[in-house]
Amino acid sequence: MKRKIALVTGGYTGESVISLKSAAVVEKTIDRDLYDVYKILIYRGDWHFLTVSGEKIPVDLNDFSITIGDDKITFDGVFNILHGSPGEDGKLAGYFDMIGIPYTTCDQLSSAITMNKGYTKAVIDDIEELHIAKSIQLFENSAANLKLVEDGLTLPLFIKPNNGGSSIGMSKVKTWGELPEALEKAFAEDSQVLVEEFVSGREFSIGCYRGKGEITVLPATEIVSSKEFFDYESKYVAGVTEEITPGRQSEEEVTRVNRIIPQIYTKLNCKGAIRVDYFLQHETGKFYFIEVNTVPGQTETSLISQQVKAIGMDVRDFYTQLIEEMF
């Protein structure tokens, strides 16, 4: 008998657009010989399933079920492709934990920690061979914090909303005069902002997942952007960025990265597939951690999809492994 899988998408942030694109790919790729898939759209105060005829079926939040005609449908598990809140920050995970439904992504605590760039760095700071750029985490936009940054850090700087994704609200600051506007832009997206010193290096993004009980590190993708940094436009506008999979790394670099990534995965108690962004510093070749994404995009051209194909695996089989790992 086929398992019933809820594919959750949508969300409460600007990333919902990307989530819907990811969900469309997952929906058509999942092995239908193994699973019956129901796409559940989650918005504030509006969780629903759309029938083929366009009828909106509300989700019963008591047990995360839907009723179509006389049939009540409950789910064996959840394929979570909801980027941002509530799918990536632990809120949805906590809900599923309470009602006892397994899901493909990190648990509530790991999701909440990894969504916060500053807290993530604090947890993984002692991993050997992993380096972290000097930074300051701000909780309000004030004159005192402006001075704190100027006194404590060296230009150029990256300004990032601490809990955001898809590089929304992110800026690179080269002069102190640019700092107030950059902080304002970041605080418009989040109540916490991370200010960190710029690391000059080659940028990479690498997937890692647990399937068949083992952690697998995928080939890294090298990010070569015509923009100053890998911002929202670089990620989602065709032609702005060149993505090379596998990335151009020496044998020693590949071996070292493949030592570091499983430690990040384990230390953060990750589940399912994650994507880690990092720099290899120009002068030293040192590994500088940027961030971890615990609900990575699954569009046709997404980095994870490229990397799965690079090891000769069918994306459908990859999804099957993620689903089966829940049970």
* Whether residue 52 sits in one domain with residue 92: yes
Q: What is the pLDDT of residues 171-216, one digit of tens each?
A: 999 999 999 999 999 999 888 999 999 999 999 999 999 999 999 9
Shared domain for 225 and 120, answered yes or no, is yes
Residue 293 assigned to a binding site:
yes
Does 89 appear as a known binding residue?
A: no
| Kind plus residue range of the DSSP H or E element containing 95 | helix 91-99
Tokens encoding 210: 């647990």
Could you tell me which residues come within 8 angstroms of residue 294 by beta carbon, excluding any fewer than 6 positions away? 88, 105, 106, 110, 111, 114, 115, 270, 272, 274
Number of folded domains that form the chain: 3
Domain harbouring 186, CATH code:
3.30.1490.20
Do 53 and 92 fall into the same domain?
yes
Q: What is the mean pLDDT of the chain?
A: 93
DSSP conformation class of 220: P
Give the per-residue pLDDT at 297.
93
Q: Is the pTM of this model over 0.85?
A: yes
Residue range 102-130: average pLDDT?
A: 96
Whether residue 266 sits in one domain with residue 127:
yes
Task: Read off the pLDDT of residues 11-60 as tens digits, 9 standing for 90 and up.
Answer: 998 889 999 999 999 999 999 999 999 999 999 999 999 998 989 999 99
Answer yes or no: do 219 and 317 share one domain: yes
Whether residues 265 and 291 fall in one domain: yes
Cα separation, 275 vs 296, whole angstroms:
6
pLDDT of residue 165: 53
CB 211 within 8 A of CB 179: no
pLDDT of residue 207: 98
Which domain does 184 fall in, by range? 134-197
Query: For 13-25, how does the pLDDT look when each residue is reduced to its tens digit (9 = 90+)?
Result: 888 999 999 999 9
What integer pLDDT is reported at residue 234 of this predicted model?
45
CATH number at residue 81: 3.40.50.20
Q: What is the percent of the chain where pLDDT is above 70?
A: 94
Known catalytic residues are: 15, 166, 302
